[in-house]
Amino acid sequence: MKRVLGICVAALLLLPACQPKEKDVDVEAEIARNLADGDSNLRNNKVAEAKKNYEVVLGHDPGNAAALTGLGRIALDAEDPAGAIEPLEKAVAADPKYSLGHASLGRAYAGTKDWAKAAEHLGQAWELDKDTEQYGLEYGIALREAKQLDKASEVLLEVAEINPKLKYVYRELGRVQLDGGELDKALRTFMKAQTQWAGDQDAFAGAAMVYEAQGEISKSIDQWSQYIQQDCCSTYSKDVAQPKLAELKAKENATPNDPTEAG
């Protein structure tokens, strides 16, 4: 009996000391913390850390729309719009009323030049969140690219009325009007864009195109010159603006000052 008792005591001595019971993980708090940290890391360009945060969330909740959107936004920031589409499609399927998910998906489709799909999702983002005028601006641009000019004009006019100081809204409206052949309207809108955002060189390019279409070569030259003063060295300036300016100057120099002298 003593031998058996001794064995039992020895066995007890070999058992690990009592450990305090691990606290249950608060899953909701863990998800909330990682989403907040992920968004903060993404804003601060800490991409690897953000990705880990979103993956932790998805480990707890595979259909979490915010975390899926986070992964999509990481792909967008890496200039991989095609790679962003899958997680963002899952995000909006999980939560069809998540405006940031729709906006991000619209941007991904815009990056792949699928303008119809871009307009679809940016339009949903705008309908869900009219306080974020940027969604409306991007929706209008996608509609223009999709050749839905009437709807694009309607949307951009609505956005401009809500926030006339939104950067580029008048420039983009001018582009829609120019594409639709509404030259007088487009010119007024581009001029308004120039006063709203003095550094928006594309508003000068737009006005230059309108003046050329109207046969106002000297005025077109002036607008292209102002564009180039603000943008001397971009690819667009070198490949489009500067050759166009040279072309128009040559045309102006070849035109007789007195129409009666021609012929």
- The answer to whether residue 83 is domain-embedded is no
| Per-residue pLDDT at 30 | 94
- The answer to whether residue 196 is domain-embedded is yes
| Per-residue pLDDT at 23 | 52
The rounded distance, in Å, linking the Cα atoms of 168 and 152 is 14
| Per-residue pLDDT at 171 | 97
Return the exposure string of 229-258: e unless at least 16 CB atoms fall within 10 Å of the residue's CB, then b.
eebeeeeebeeebbebbeebeeeeeeeeee
- The answer to whether residue 96 is domain-embedded is no
Residue with tokens 């128009």: 248
Would you say 203 and 174 are in contact if contact means Cβ atoms under 8 Å apart? yes
In one-letter notation, the amino acid at residue 181 is: G
CA-CA-CA-CA torsion for 61, 31, 67, 125, nearest 10 degrees?
A: 100
Would you say 74 and 50 are in contact if contact means Cβ atoms under 8 Å apart? yes
- The answer to whether residue 190 is domain-embedded is yes
Domain count, the chain: 1
Q: What is the CATH number of the domain that holds 186?
A: 1.25.40.10
- The answer to whether residue 162 is domain-embedded is no
Q: What is the extent of the structural domain holding 236?
A: 167-253
The rounded distance, in Å, linking the Cα atoms of 258 and 49 is 70
Tokens matching residue 245: 């300016």
- The answer to whether residue 213 is domain-embedded is yes
In one-letter notation, the amino acid at residue 197 is: W
- The answer to whether residue 150 is domain-embedded is no
| Per-residue pLDDT at 197 | 85
User: HSE on the CB side for 222, CA within 13 Å?
Assistant: 7
| Per-residue pLDDT at 20 | 52
Low-confidence ranges of the chain (pLDDT < 70): 1-25, 256-263
- The answer to whether residue 222 is domain-embedded is yes
